[in-house]
């Protein structure tokens, strides 16, 4: 053991003490620990159905859950259960045993029991009906935002044609049932 210390001492130009070794190990750990932890974070995020970039944005506060991001939609669970579900409004047939379930797959919103709030599931909107477009352009999202939204009266006053279109949509769904 003494021979190794002497070789290191020759390289460093002075005698190596135990405290030098401790300082060296501490320095290496402090310099590599963030990278080791980042590796664990990347490995953990790889198990989630989101990208590393999305996880970093969420932790940094740039992304918020749907209820926080759009307070106008209100609490997703507070929407009345008497309102028609997304698959009733769209008449898509993607419920279990539906006419399109075998071809398009069962609706992820139906499987999760989120008929009124498919937009709450990240990357789970219906590619067959909405083509993964922005949820704000979805007629079901607009309908529920109108019904439950905080700014309902402003929407009705500013967009009367949109109000009539959404009212007809509701009446059509109710007449089917």
At 96-116, the pLDDT tens digits run: 888 888 887 777 777 766 656
Q: What pLDDT digit, counting tens, does each position of 139-150 carry? A: 777 776 665 555
65, 88, 107, 109 from 112: Cα distances, Å: 17, 16, 9, 5
Running DSSP on this structure, what letter comes out for residue 129?
A: T
- Looking at the chain, the whole-number percentage of residues with pLDDT higher than 90 is 0
pLDDT digits (tens, 9 = 90+) for 50-83: 666 666 766 776 666 655 555 544 444 454 455 6
Selected residue with higher pLDDT from 167 and 132: 167
Domains in the chain: boundaries: 2-60, 66-176
Residue 176, pLDDT above cutoff 50: yes
pLDDT in tens, 31-58: 666 666 666 566 665 566 666 666 676 6
């Amino acid at each position: 053991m003494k021979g190794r210390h002497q070789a290191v001492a020759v390289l460093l130009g002075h005698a190596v003490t135990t405290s030098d070794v401790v300082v060296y190990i501490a320095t290496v750990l402090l310099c590599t620990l963030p990278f080791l932890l980042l590796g664990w974070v990347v490995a953990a995020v790889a198990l989630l159905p989101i990208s590393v970039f999305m996880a970093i944005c969420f932790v940094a506060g740039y992304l918020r859950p749907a209820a926080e991001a759009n307070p106008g939609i209100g609490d997703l669970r507070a929407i009345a259960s008497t309102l028609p579900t997304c698959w009733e409004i769209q008449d898509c047939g993607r419920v279990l045993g539906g006419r399109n379930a075998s071809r398009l797959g069962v609706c992820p919103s139906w499987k999760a029991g989120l008929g009124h709030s498919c937009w709450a599931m990240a990357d789970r909107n219906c590619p067959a009906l909405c083509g993964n477009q922005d949820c704000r352009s979805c007629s079901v999202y607009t309908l529920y935002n109108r019904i439950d939204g905080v700014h309902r009266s402003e929407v009705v006053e500013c967009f009367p044609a949109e109000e009539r279109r959404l009212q007809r949509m509701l009446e059509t769904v109710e007449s089917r049932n």
